[in-house]
Structure 1
Amino acid sequence: MRADTLPGPLLAYYGDDFTGSTDEMEAFTLAGVPTGLFLRTPTPAWVQRLGHLRCIGLAGTARGRSPAWMREHLPPAFASLRAFGAPLLQYKVCSTFDSSPDTGSIGQAIELGVQAMGGDWSPMVIGAPRLRRYQAFGHLFAAMGDEVHRLDRHPTMSRHPVTPMDEADLRRHLARQTGRRLGLVDLVALQSGGGDAALARLQGADTPVVLLDVINDDTLAEAGRLVWERRGRGLFSASSSGLAYALVAHWRRAGLLGPAQPLPPTAAVDRIVAVSGSCSPVTAGQIVWAGAQGFSLERLDTAAVLTAAAREAEIARLTAAALQALAAGRSPLIHSACGPDDPAVLGFAAVAAQAGVPLAQAQAAVGDALAATLRRVIDASSVRRVAIAGGDSSGAVAGALDITALTVAAQLAPGAPLCRAHADAAGMDGLELVLKGGQMGGVDFFGQVLHGLR
């Protein structure tokens, strides 16, 4: 039976951050699989309002949360998604596997997901060649510029301020977060036709996690085939958008999915508003480029937002500066940092301690200030396109805009599409948003959001 003729949705997913959630939505939408991403618990009425969805997503913030938070919030989220009847339930993780035992624990999410879905294995697909992410013999690699790095030697991920990656072997990394049995179907088995036999040796009543190597189109499609043909009555998978690309690759090769209609490229607008809470050097380069190209760069004083009185004054200052830039025909870009070596990043823990604010609460205050500023700018201007950079920042900012759901409107950068907002609030319905992870996009990313793809 063709995948596009099966009744109901094919997959439902919870995204552990907002930028990754739009990445997954883009992967399915590009393939012609109608997908809606909800920013709050989806209801049948809202799903019906968006049309015949084959994939239903729920954007979350679990990547920056504790295991205790996950145990409280993920079970009801998984239950709400499972109610739509999809045979695959996914916990969508970043393709750089951002996680630790204490923050964004993928292992904790797997424990909760397997309880919700069951199955005799839990597949994990992390490699996504379109995003230049590769898994070989269980080790994860990611590109930056023209080079591909093992993740524990990656210039950004090895120095991530919250979840630095010190182990590229995902089984060893994941073993710190769960006691569940971990297995691997490696690229040799996948390329030689031995994937089914390798998987059969691993499956069991204890529902092991089985990683599937992905390095190219062939291993991608074979990983998708194993997941789809061995889904049984239902599976839970903690995977990156590599799972979406893998399923689509298999459906295409097997003739289970009809031809996709290409999305239009992003068109130009006269002005945008951008906010960034990213500490990535990739985003730093994009901010510097934008400033050189005429964007109005406005820096958030991260120390000021840690006290109530100074916070309000800082948000008012940034809002006024952004509105002044828009009135002059320029696009404001409000940012809290410019790369991992920014003094605002290196000294933030000390600043928070001096203010008597726990670090996690201080980090949340920065995201909340960016959100409040963007909301005020949107409400007070005619701007209809916004860009938000940073995985954790996107959750705080987009989550504060009274938007119910997003759909993909146009192609932009891989993993960061232009989205259209769906909301009951007239001022938010139809708003165009781009949610960008720190590593996503070329140096001219903000220019592309403004000028479109030529």
Structure 2
Amino acid sequence: MQKDKKLLMVFYGDDFTGSTDALEFMARAGAKTMLFMEPPSVELLSQYQNLDAIGVAGLTRSMIPEEMRRTLKEDFEKIALLNPRHVHYKVCSTFDSSSEIGNIGVAIKEGFKQFKNRFVPILIAAPNLGRYMAFGNLFAQMGIGSDGEIFRIDQHPSMSRHPVTPATEGDLRDQLALQCDFSSGLINLLDLELSLEQLKDKLKQISKENKIVFFDGLYERQMKILGELLEESVEYDKSLFTIGSSGVGKALGDYWQQKGKLNECKNWKALKENKAVLVLSGSASPVTADQIEYALKMGFAEVLVEPEFLEKNLEDFIIKYSDKIIQFLKKDISVIFHTSKGSNDKRLGATKEITNRLGWDASRTRKELPAKFGKILGQTALRVLSEVMLERLIIAGGDTSSYTARELGINAVEMIAPLYKGAPLCKAFAMDSPINNMEINLKGGQVGGKAYFVELQKGKIENQIKNYE
């Protein structure tokens, strides 16, 4: 990074798949961006030339509040040393969180302490991902990058039944009130029809009366307006701390392009067919379940993670699973190694019985399971990749993705091609690991149509042009 060049943004993802979602929007906007696993030092960044933005793939979505406080205090202090114009705490576009796990209120409090802004904007809307805010209520399409039906978030077939953070409120102001005691204001859809000067005055008034300001967003054309509001909210010599989905990067990116600070990137690596791919799935989403079923019908093989590994010798399971996977891959058969096939998978009930026997309460279960599943997925994959050379690896599932990536030894990733909205193809940097320089794709549970895994193996993304024109 050039010494005299100020970073436009540092985004901090609460999980890995969400972080690559944010990475995509910044890179597509034309910002030279790298995603790191830990906040980099000024000295480390000096090794990279002309960076406009960086990201940090955090773990806070699966943390309890006290652990979040300690982690964010330390990481925000490191980010502040980089002095970016914007700091974006990236959350899922379905606002996955609760008072017990992934508490967004904790992130807001730590953001206030470190960056000392007058108010914290919250922008969750991302119309191009099928995420809409109307009068404070969040609506989400069933499946990102699909033509699924749109539901209010507390009635969404998947998110209302999320195994860790089920959506119980439609109005995000009510959802956030369960996690912190800050008052929340709203720039609503009608406000977005005002002139820009009227809108700025309205935001100024609302932010005087409330420490939190949510922003509605329904149409793509509104993102540029929201980007300008965020840019105009930066206080002198302070980084603006914002909570939001990748819609934050989209909004600011659109505005920066309009102002000539960035030029949209359109030249990307062509996707090639692979003889076989390996999928590591820790997702219980019905969207991912449909993708697994379709892939199996199209010739993929599956290897199931048995919950019994939680109370037995982990190494025995890693050897057993990796041997099975290696046998398939050596025959050029793609493999899906998964912890669940949808929310009705019997293994979910078996897992609950085991955690009860282990004496884990609900809090410990929510904290431990993503790490345990991430470990067996990542360690098994490492053993496989030490025996079989692959070009492309796919990781599905937000809660486990950060742990899986760390088990794989990933230090950083860089986007090399857009595939589906919110799930780009990346290059992995992982020194002394077989995954170094591999193509890696990370997707949240809600991302993609039923042919997702098959299309990635064949190198044919049917909706790629439509999605990104």
| TM-score relative to the length of structure 1 | 0.94
Residues 366, 276 of structure 1: CA spacing in aligned structure 2 closer, same or farther, 3 A cutoff? same
Asked whether the 8 Å contact 2:6–2:85 carries over to 1, the reply is no
Moved over 4 A (4+): none
Worse-superposed segment, 77-86 or 263-272? 263-272
Asked whether the 8 Å contact 1:30–1:262 carries over to 2, the reply is no
User: 1:153 aligned to 2:150?
Assistant: no
User: 1:242 aligned to 2:247?
Assistant: yes
Distance 1:45 1:378 in 2: 32
User: 1:386 aligned to 2:389?
Assistant: no
Give, in angstroms, the shift of residue 41 of structure 1: 3.0
Distance 2:260 2:176 in 1: 35
Give, in angstroms, the shift of residue 354 of structure 1: 2.5
- The Cα RMSD (Å) is 1.8
Give, in angstroms, the shift of residue 355 of structure 1: 4.0
Post-superposition Cα deviations, 1:151-195, rounded to whole Å, max 9, x if no partner, equal 000000000011100101011110111111211111111122232
Aligned counterpart in structure 1 of residue 41 of structure 2, from 27, 40, 43: 43
User: 1:31 aligned to 2:35?
Assistant: no
Post-superposition Cα deviations, 1:300-356, rounded to whole Å, max 9, x if no partner, equal 111x211242x3222111100110011111111101110001111234212321344
Alignment of 1:88-167 (within 5 A): 88-144=86-142, 145-167=147-169
Asked whether the 8 Å contact 1:12–1:82 carries over to 2, the reply is no
Asked whether the 8 Å contact 2:295–2:453 carries over to 1, the reply is yes
Post-superposition Cα deviations, 1:219-260, rounded to whole Å, max 9, x if no partner, equal 211111100022123311111101000111222334443343
Distance 2:54 2:214 in 1: 24
Amino acid at match of 2:401: S
Corresponding position of 1:186: 188
User: 1:231 aligned to 2:195?
Assistant: no
Distance 1:444 1:217 in 2: 26
Amino acid at match of 1:212: F
Residues 45, 424 of structure 1: CA spacing in aligned structure 2 closer, same or farther, 3 A cutoff? farther
Distance 1:375 1:427 in 2: 7
Corresponding position of 1:3: none
Post-superposition Cα deviations, 1:416-438, rounded to whole Å, max 9, x if no partner, equal 11110123326332121111100
Asked whether the 8 Å contact 2:32–2:50 carries over to 1, the reply is yes
Worse-superposed segment, 245-254 or 157-166? 245-254
Give, in angstroms, the shift of residue 77 of structure 1: 0.8
Distance 1:46 1:447 in 2: 38
Distance 1:350 1:62 in 2: 26
Amino acid at match of 2:211: P
Secondary structure at 1:399 match in 2: helix
Worse-superposed segment, 255-264 or 52-61? 255-264
Corresponding position of 2:339: 336
Distance 1:83 1:189 in 2: 36
Note the residue ranges of structure 2 that are not aligned, 5 or more in a row.
Answer: 462-469
Give, in angstroms, the shift of residue 217 of structure 1: 1.8
User: 1:348 aligned to 2:351?
Assistant: yes
Post-superposition Cα deviations, 1:363-421, rounded to whole Å, max 9, x if no partner, equal 53222111211111112221131101100121111111222110001121110111101
User: 1:276 aligned to 2:262?
Assistant: no
Secondary structure at 1:217 match in 2: coil
Distance 1:232 1:186 in 2: 23
Asked whether the 8 Å contact 2:122–2:212 carries over to 1, the reply is yes
Amino acid at match of 2:426: C
Corresponding position of 1:373: 380
Worse-superposed segment, 264-273 or 67-76? 264-273
Distance 1:280 1:433 in 2: 20
Distance 1:41 1:232 in 2: 23
Asked whether the 8 Å contact 2:370–2:399 carries over to 1, the reply is no
Corresponding position of 2:19: 21
Distance 2:45 2:453 in 1: 31
Q: Number of paired residues?
A: 447
Distance 2:176 2:227 in 1: 22
Distance 1:363 1:64 in 2: 7
Secondary structure at 1:187 match in 2: coil
Aligned counterpart in structure 2 of residue 197 of structure 1, from 184, 201, 206: 201
Amino acid at match of 2:271: T
User: 1:295 aligned to 2:300?
Assistant: yes
Distance 1:342 1:183 in 2: 41
Corresponding position of 2:467: none
User: 1:10 aligned to 2:8?
Assistant: yes
Amino acid at match of 1:375: L
Distance 1:426 1:331 in 2: 21
Alignment of 1:316-327 (within 5 A): 316-327=319-330
Alignment of 1:69-84 (within 5 A): 69-84=67-82
